[in-house]
Amino acid sequence: MNNAATTPVKQEVFESMKPYFAEDYGNPSGFSNFSERSKDAIEKARDTIAGLLGASGEEIYFTSGGTESDNWALKAIAFANRKKGTHIITSKIEHHAILRTCEWLGKAGFDVTYVNVDENGFVDSKEIRRAIRSDTILISVMTANNEIGTIQPIREIGTIARERKILFHTDAVQAYGHIAINVNECGIDLLSASGHKINGPKGIGILYIRKGTVIGSFMHGGEQEHGRRAGTYNTPGIVGFGKATELAQASLATRSTFESELRDYLIDRIIAEIPYSRLNGHKTKRLPNNVNISFKYVEGESMLIMLDQKGICASGGSACTSGSLDPSHVLLAIGLPHEIAHGSLRITLSEEATKEEVDYVVEELKKIVQRLRSMSPLYEDFIKEKKENVQ
Ligand code: PLP
């Protein structure tokens, strides 16, 4: 129930990777036949990944994951375009890989505008238009939010960026392989994606960089990736990411239908059967596997621990922020007060999830919420007040 945090490597993916550990382990940058085999496997994966995005292979650069891709995109675009301007636009609900990079850029002399989102977590493309200045060099807005699943109007934002000749980056870590994305149709110049969100291995990602984009290298060293991202290739990781992409592409339509039906069933049951609960994010324009619900008068951490005791692995905010006591910046940005943001739960399904599992989650959740409320002085006050009002 926590597939937005990470997913298992599928057996077929694992099998595809195996030969590149101990048999075809040659360094792909070498000139032997042995190296060629690794190189060919890498180029095949690159083309598969490019195919899913409507890009060409030469525009795909392998990285160590979504975090590196986001850092590279923002920092290297900022410094390469510094003479043109120093203004960057992003949203308040980006992943910390973007937000903390923007903070860092702020200290390095760049000026960042964080646009607001509405109550469903949508960035308004008109707000983006209003935020543009003559010195704006980059717009970075995520394709879909990792906490509340909201799918952003990236095509509209890409069109505005193109009209104004500003580069457009999107963090598609949660969207890649889950919803269709075409970089040309959406006017995307740079896109980050990660292997471990689509049943690929951890520690591998890509940055799509549109051909002709002026950007510096992030890792300095060897000549790998046209000298733009140095470091010996992670051949098994790349091959696994390629295979996971191929499988994700083949199942995209059926998986999306299956997951969104199960998601809606889960949402409808929770809202109908647990009083004082609310759905966060838009009802339909959300990732097919994402459910995010706030429960009034419930403490989120306790809810997670109790769910865990019942064998249910879910999340409070994103995996990266849980463990911190601060409420999620995403839930605050959509206007939730602190106490409600604290009582929130993210459940992210997979194609392997079953209706029986979802029913089990609802039944356990009902008991847990009731139990936590029975211990809450705030809930007690609320019920007392309610009774008095009725009398
Ligand atoms: N961006 C988003 C939207 C994410 O959800 C995540 C991971 O959860 C990342 C970036 C970071 O990706 P990675 O774990 O591959 O570094």
- Beta carbons within 10 angstroms of residue 212's beta carbon: 7
Nearest residue by C-alpha to atom 4 in ligand 1: 173
Question: What is the C-alpha separation between 353 and 257, in angstroms, rounded?
Answer: 13
If one residue of 90, 99, 174 were mutated to test the ligand 1 pocket, choosing by the most ligand atoms within 8 A of its CB, it would be 174
Give pLDDT, residue 31: 87
The predicted pLDDT at position 222 comes to 93
Q: Which residues of 358-388 are buried (b: 16+ CB within 10 A; e: fewer)?
A: beebbebbeebbeebbeebeebeeeeeeeee
Q: pLDDT tens for residues 13-24?
A: 999 999 999 999
CB of residue 95 inside a 6 A radius of ligand 1:
yes
pLDDT for 275: 96
Residue in 3, 9, 63, 95 to alter for ligand 1 test, most ligand atoms within 8 A of Cβ: 95
Strand segments (E) across the chain: 60-63, 87-91, 111-115, 136-140, 167-171, 190-194, 205-209, 277-279, 290-295, 344-348
Identify the pLDDT of residue 115.
Answer: 98
**CA–CA gap between residue 187 and residue 175 (Å, rounded):** 16
Q: What is the pLDDT of residue 323?
A: 55
Strand order in the sheet with 344-348: 277-279, 290-295, 344-348
CB of 112 within 6 A of ligand 1: the answer is no
Q: Give 341's pLDDT tier (boundaries 50, 70, 90).
A: very high
Residue 318 pLDDT grade (very low, low, confident, very high; cuts 50, 70, 90) = very low
Check pocket membership of 67 for ligand 1, CB cut-off 6 A.
yes
User: Mean pLDDT over residues 349-353, rounded?
Assistant: 97
Instruction: Find the mean pLDDT for residues 372-388.
Output: 90
Confirm whether 320 is a catalytic residue.
Answer: yes
Q: What is the pLDDT of residues 223-270, one digit of tens each?
A: 999 999 999 999 999 999 999 999 999 999 999 999 999 999 999 999
Are the C-beta atoms of residues 279 and 82 closer than 8 Å to each other? no
Residues of the chain above pLDDT 70, percent: 98
pLDDT band per the 50, 70, 90 thresholds, residue 324: low
Instruction: Please list, residue by residue across 22-44, b when 16 or more beta carbons sit within 10 angstroms of its beta carbon and e when fewer do.
Output: eebebebeeeeeebebbbebbeb
| Helices 66-80 + 96-107 axis angle, to 10 | 30
Residue in the structure block whose two tokens are 């089990």: 360
Mutate to test the pocket of ligand 1, among 102, 174, 194 (most ligand atoms within 8 A of CB): 194
Identify the residue with better confidence: 33 or 156. Answer: 156
Determine if ligand 1 sits within 6 Å of the CB of residue 194: yes
CA of 66 to the centre of ligand 1 (A): 5
* Mean of pLDDT over the chain: 95
